[in-house]
Amino acid sequence: MDDIHYINPLWRLADPLTVKQAAVLIAGLDPNKISFRADGSAYFHEEHDDKRVAWVDTALAALTNAINGGNLKAKVTTPPLKSFKKYLTGFLM
C-alpha cells in the first residue's frame, strides 16, 4: 500500500469537517498530508508525483460552488479576530 493513498480510518469520526478536509477526502487522500496555499490551491506536505492533488482542487471548487449556490447546506464560520490578526501579522512582516 502506497503511503500517500492511506487514509486514517479515524477520519470517519471527524464531525464536522471543513470544506478543505472534505475536498481532500473526496479526492481519496488523507487531509493530514495536504496543505493549501494562500491562493487556495492544494499541495502535498512531501513531494509526490501523484496527480490526485489536482482532484483536491477540483473537489474544493465543486464544494465551494455548491455551498455558494445554495445547493449544499453548510455552516459558514470565520476565524476569531485574534487568529486573523496573527495571520495578517505574518504577511505584514
Give the DSSP letter string of 30-73: -GGGEEE-TTS-EEESS----THHHHHHHHHHHHHHHHHTTSS-
CB–CB of 37/43 below 8 Å? Answer: yes
Domain boundaries, the chain: 3-92
CB–CB of 52/28 below 8 Å? Answer: yes
CB–CB of 36/24 below 8 Å? Answer: no
Q: Please state the pTM of the whole predicted model.
A: 0.71
What pLDDT score does 71 carry? 93
What pLDDT score does 3 carry? 74
Q: What is the CA radius of gyration of the chain?
A: 15
Sites in the chain below the pLDDT cut of 50: 1, 93
What pLDDT score does 1 carry? 45
Rounded Cα gap, residues 53 and 9, in angstroms = 20
